[in-house]
Amino acid sequence: MAALSTKPHSHGAVVPVTSRAEHFTSYDVNAFEVPGGREEIWRFTPLKRLAGLHSGAAATGTAAVEVSAASGVTVETVGRDDSRLGTAGVPGDRVAAQAYSSFENATIVTLPGDVKSEPTTVTVTGAGVDAVAYGHIQVKASQFAEGTVILDFRGSGAYADNVEFLVADGAHLTVITIHDWADDAVHVSQHHVKLGRDATIKHTVVTLGGNVVRVTPVVQYAGRGGDAELFGLYFADAGQHQEHRPFIDHAQAKCRSNVVYKGALQGEGAHAVWIGDVLIRVAAEGTETFELNRNLILTDGARADSVPNLEIETGEIEGAGHASATGRFDDEQLFYLQARGIPEDQARRLVVRGFFQELIAKIAVPEVRERLEAAIEAELEAVGT
**Chain residues that interact with other proteins, rule: CB under 8 A:** 1, 331-333, 335-344, 346-347, 350-351, 353-358
Q: Output 187 or 262, the one with its CB closest to other proteins.
A: 262
Residue closer to other proteins (CB basis): 251 or 342 = 342
- Fill in the DSSP letter of residue 120: E
- Can you tell me the distance from the alpha carbon of 12 to that of 309, in angstroms, rounded to the nearest whole number? 8
CB 179 to other proteins: min, Å: 23
Residue 58 to residues 63, 65, 77, Cα–Cα distance (Å): 14, 19, 22
Q: Which of 147, 261, 127, 239 is nearest to 187 (CA)?
A: 127
Nearer CB in complex with other proteins: 344/377: 344
Q: Which is nearer to other proteins, 3 or 64 (CB)?
A: 3
CA 91 to chain centre: 15
**Torsions phi, psi of 192, nearest 5?**
-115, 115
Q: How many CB atoms lie within 10 A of CB 71?
A: 9
The helix (H) or strand (E) run that includes residue 153 is strand 146-154
Minimum distance from residue 358 beta carbon to other proteins (Å): 6
Tell me the β-bridge partners of 67. 122
**DSSP secondary-structure letter at 10?**
S
- Cβ-based neighbours of 346, under 8 Å, separated by 6 or more: none
Indicate the residue among 167 and 347 with the shorter CB distance to other proteins.
Answer: 347
Question: Strands 271-280 and 247-250: what pairing?
Answer: parallel
| CB closer to other proteins, 37 vs 384 | 384
Closest contact distance (angstroms) between CB of 206 and other proteins is: 17
